[in-house]
A and B are shown apart, each in its own frame.
Chain A
Amino acid sequence: MSNWIINQGLSAFILVVWMGINIFLFVYYYLFYDLGPQFEYTRELLGSALAWARAPAAVLNFNCMLILLPVCRNLLSLLRGSFIYFALLKQLDKNLTFHKLVAYMIALMTAVHTVAHLLNAEWYTNSFQGRYGPLASKLSMLGDSRELNTTYLNPFRSNSTTPTIFVFTTIAGLTGVVITLALILIITSSMEVIRRSYFEVFWYTHHLFIIFFAGLVFHGAGRIVRSQQVTNPPHNNSFCKDQPENWGKIPECPVPQFAGGFPQTWMWVIGPMIIYLCERLLRFIRYMQPVSYRKIVIRPSKVLELQLVKPGFKMEVGQYVFLNCPAISQLEWHPFTMTSAPEEDFFSVHIRSVGDWTEKLIKMVENLPEGGMAVDGPFGTASEDVFDYEVSMLVGAGIGVTPFASILKSIWYKFKDSDPKLRTKRIYFYWLCRETYAFEWFADLLQVLEKDMEERGMRDFLTYKLYLTGWDQSHVNHAMVHFDKDTDIITGLKQKTHYGRPNWDREFEQVRQENPSSVVGTFLCGPQALAKDLEKKCVRYSDVDPRKTTFYFNKENF
């Protein structure tokens, strides 16, 4: 239980606070409209349906304000750079999860809000047509006329207004339908199946959010939610409601006056809208910066290494950039983790051929590249924190090793310069891969590191284990024959390659034994199933006691 608190406690806390605010807003505004005296006559016409519509509206205001914030990646990057309490930073990893949660809440509240307003529209019509008794009819008959000094309560003003006509002739109705439609299209195209297979459909349809926010801001402009105003002399509701026919004729009951509520949604969303606009502007400005090719290498296993130079570009270890190649597609931006170290005067990415865009890119650079590239970023992810931990466990599966390549290179540079900022005392590096060709990329890097460590007598600093998960009989035969060679037959490194998947219990136990009373950060770039496994192990092998080892888990995902 206590281990769970260390690893998940803050996320749970934030969720509880968010849900608490939602519940508070819902209940507060429900009671405001259901009990407030200025809505007594409205309730005469609509019962509780107005409260049922306004309560989700308040929750919607709050969540529409929140939804834009987690996707401002430049803003989040700035926050990560500044000095904030260490544990809070881990929450920023879960920005997309939070975005989706807020989106679900918006969808749910939209449904409640819409159903309540359907009831409202119907009951307003019924009131106007006299189906609810004399008080309701009198209230509905109140016209909107300066000469007679009356203000209306019921937005349905004539017998021929059906709910459908009402919706399409009022600002609130029209914007409501349009933005609900936009929301539905956004949601259906964001389903995991569509998002993972056809990112373009998801991304382009998602831009309907512009229509959503525009409509949302104007949704209340018609001011059709009316509250009763104080008149002089005052209109005593409890006395006057039984005698609507005498209104305006006796001094105790002047004709009641109503006015529409001031639209408030814009006050909630204007801030985040401006922030998001700045975010997109920043992305555009970065897009316009010229990027030049320094070196292009095609590696085995259809992997492309691009070394690029951009003026004013500063990065940290394990960050990623978005690349855009106008020659292939004007609007597509794809994320790639950088594989170079900040100490180098260029930045590099290793790109694997997995889909249309990457295939076309590799084909394009095989002949000389005809177009330029645009780069947005860098953006920070969890790997930035790796030097803050005394001990780090780095796990990379296949191409997921890329952020760690950046880290290892940076270590090498920091080592050479004896950088005092390096808090790390030990690093354990686990690389899981299916095919042997994949080792070639970084075999030279690891060889250089290995030699360097030995020369400086710091063999313990970096412990790395390579796991070949796609081994077969030929590997076994080969290994058996060359068992006694000093270096590994596949990589040429002194550390032997392991076959099969790692036994994580043993690994965690070993790290715990070799590093008592340390804080260990575990970093993974790999599949979801492995993330769950490692997270469980972190919780299991952690100890609340600060004199014993504690494990923290960080995950990257694209």
Chain B
Amino acid sequence: MGKIEWAMWANEQALAAGLIYATGGIVGVAGQFRGWQFAAFGIAAGVFVCLLEYPRSKRGKGTSVERTGQYCFTVCVKAFGPLTRNYYVRAFLHAALCVPGGFMLATVLGCVCLGIASLIYLSAAIHGEHWEPILPRTEPPKRVGNSIKEPPQNPPPRPPPELRRKKADKLETAAYDNPMSVTINE
């Protein structure tokens, strides 16, 4: 199926799952449903998953597209080192977080979506992928080329000699030779 980086899809799925988990939790708590404690957990877990998944990973091949304003999240997620870098940890974490959601209807959709995200992350981990932060590149300041300090060794290119020869009858009127047209280029 081509060289796909599963983590990219897992990331989209997990972010969506986090939102759905949190929304279901809000409905459960606001409506004071039976089992609202699971809904409260759902809100917390959903928000946590969103924060964790918001910064996109740098792709193995190709250009990575950042999400808007993800830099501060990248820094936070990066601070946890191997815990966030490794996708096995993420797969296990999502699987664990999704279980309480299954006990209540409002969060059951979030639970299943997060479970699917966990499975895709497992696939990513098995394929050896890992999370890499997207950091802004510090460009080395452009150096002025060395050649600017040396005077040119060769004269500028001139048209071949037969063109340079002035026509005898026009010698007096010709002030100087124009090898190239100096009017504005079309």
A residues with a Cβ closer than 8 A to B are 111, 114-115, 118-119, 121-122, 125, 162-164, 167, 177, 180-181, 184-185, 187-189, 191, 193-194, 197-201, 204, 355-356, 477, 480-481, 483, 496
Query: Is B159 in contact with A481, judged by CB distance below 8 angstroms?
Result: yes
Pick the contact of B4 from A122, A181, A201 — CB < 8 Å? A201
Chain A hits for B116, CB < 8 A: 181, 185
Chain B hits for A193, CB < 8 A: 8, 12, 56, 65
* Chain B interface size range: 35 or more
Residue of B nearest to A198 (CB): B4
Query: Is A122 in contact with B31, judged by CB distance below 8 angstroms?
Result: yes
Pick the contact of B23 from A111, A119, A122 — CB < 8 Å? A111
Q: Is B13 part of the binding interface, using a Cβ–Cβ cutoff of 8 Å?
A: yes
Q: How far is the CA of A191 from the CA of B27 in the complex (A)?
A: 26
Residues 139-186 of B contacting A (Cβ, < 8 Å): 157, 159, 180-181, 186
Pick the contact of B180 from A118, A125, A483 — CB < 8 Å? A483
Q: How far is the CA of A164 from the CA of B24 in the complex (A)?
A: 13
Q: Which of A119, A180, A198, A355 has the most CB of B within 10 A?
A: A198
Other A-B pairs, 17, CB within 8 Å; known A118-B31, A119-B27, A181-B116: A114-B109, A115-B27, A122-B33, A162-B34, A163-B104, A181-B109, A181-B112, A184-B16, A185-B116, A187-B16, A189-B9, A194-B8, A198-B5, A198-B8, A200-B4, A201-B9, A356-B2
Residue of B nearest to A482 (CB): B159
Residue of B nearest to A481 (CB): B157
CB distance from A126 to the nearest CB of B (A): 8
Name the prevailing secondary structure of the A interface residues.
helix
CB distance from A202 to the nearest CB of B (A): 9
Q: Is B106 part of the binding interface, using a Cβ–Cβ cutoff of 8 Å?
A: yes
Pick the contact of B157 from A194, A204, A480 — CB < 8 Å? A480
Chain A hits for B1, CB < 8 A: 198, 200-201, 204
Chain A hits for B113, CB < 8 A: 181, 184
B residues with a Cβ closer than 8 A to A are 1-5, 8-9, 12-13, 16-17, 20, 23-24, 27-28, 31, 33-34, 56, 59, 62, 65, 103-106, 108-109, 112-113, 116, 157, 159, 180-181, 186
- A selection of 19 A-B contacts at a CB cut-off of 8 Å is A115-B23, A119-B31, A122-B105, A125-B34, A162-B105, A164-B108, A181-B112, A188-B12, A188-B16, A193-B8, A194-B9, A197-B5, A198-B2, A201-B4, A204-B1, A355-B2, A356-B2, A480-B180, A483-B181
Q: How far is the CA of A481 from the CA of B163 in the complex (A)?
A: 12
CB distance from A553 to the nearest CB of B (A): 26
Chain A hits for B8, CB < 8 A: 193-194, 197-198
Residue of A nearest to B103 (CB): A164
CB distance from B85 to the nearest CB of A (A): 20
Query: Is A198 in contact with B109, judged by CB distance below 8 angstroms?
Result: no
Q: How far is the CA of A201 from the CA of B9 in the complex (A)?
A: 9
Residue of A nearest to B160 (CB): A481
Query: Is B108 in contact with A197, judged by CB distance below 8 angstroms?
Result: no
Chain B hits for A180, CB < 8 A: 109
CB distance from B72 to the nearest CB of A (A): 20
Chain B hits for A496, CB < 8 A: 186
Chain A hits for B28, CB < 8 A: 118
Chain A hits for B112, CB < 8 A: 177, 181
Chain B hits for A197, CB < 8 A: 4-5, 8, 59, 62
Q: How far is the CA of A200 from the CA of B4 in the complex (A)?
A: 9
Chain B hits for A355, CB < 8 A: 2
Q: How far is the CA of A197 from the CA of B57 in the complex (A)?
A: 14
Residue of A nearest to B65 (CB): A193
Q: How far is the CA of A193 from the CA of B33 in the complex (A)?
A: 38
Q: How far is the CA of A477 from the CA of B1 in the complex (A)?
A: 47
CB distance from A226 to the nearest CB of B (A): 20
Q: How far is the CA of A194 from the CA of B56 in the complex (A)?
A: 12
Query: Is A188 in contact with B33, judged by CB distance below 8 angstroms?
Result: no
Query: In the complex where A167-B105, A181-B112, A480-B157 touch, is A188 in contact with B27 (Cβ < 8 A)?
Result: no
CB distance from A200 to the nearest CB of B (A): 5
Chain B hits for A122, CB < 8 A: 31, 33-34, 105
CB distance from A482 to the nearest CB of B (A): 10
**5 closest Cβ pairs, A-B complex:** A163-B105, A188-B12, A198-B4, A188-B13, A164-B105
Q: How far is the CA of A98 from the CA of B23 in the complex (A)?
A: 27
Chain A hits for B108, CB < 8 A: 164, 167, 177
Query: In the complex where A201-B9, A481-B159 touch, is A164 in contact with B104 (Cβ < 8 A)?
Result: yes
Q: How far is the CA of A344 from the CA of B171 in the complex (A)?
A: 60
CB distance from A425 to the nearest CB of B (A): 24
CB distance from B16 to the nearest CB of A (A): 5
Residue of B nearest to A189 (CB): B9
Chain A hits for B186, CB < 8 A: 496
Query: Is B33 in contact with A177, judged by CB distance below 8 angstroms?
Result: no
CB distance from A430 to the nearest CB of B (A): 15
Query: In the complex where A122-B34, A189-B9 touch, is A200 in contact with B104 (Cβ < 8 A)?
Result: no
CB distance from B164 to the nearest CB of A (A): 13
Query: In the complex where A164-B105, A193-B8 touch, is A185 in contact with B31 (Cβ < 8 A)?
Result: no
CB distance from B132 to the nearest CB of A (A): 16
Q: How far is the CA of A181 from the CA of B103 in the complex (A)?
A: 18
Residue of A nearest to B104 (CB): A164
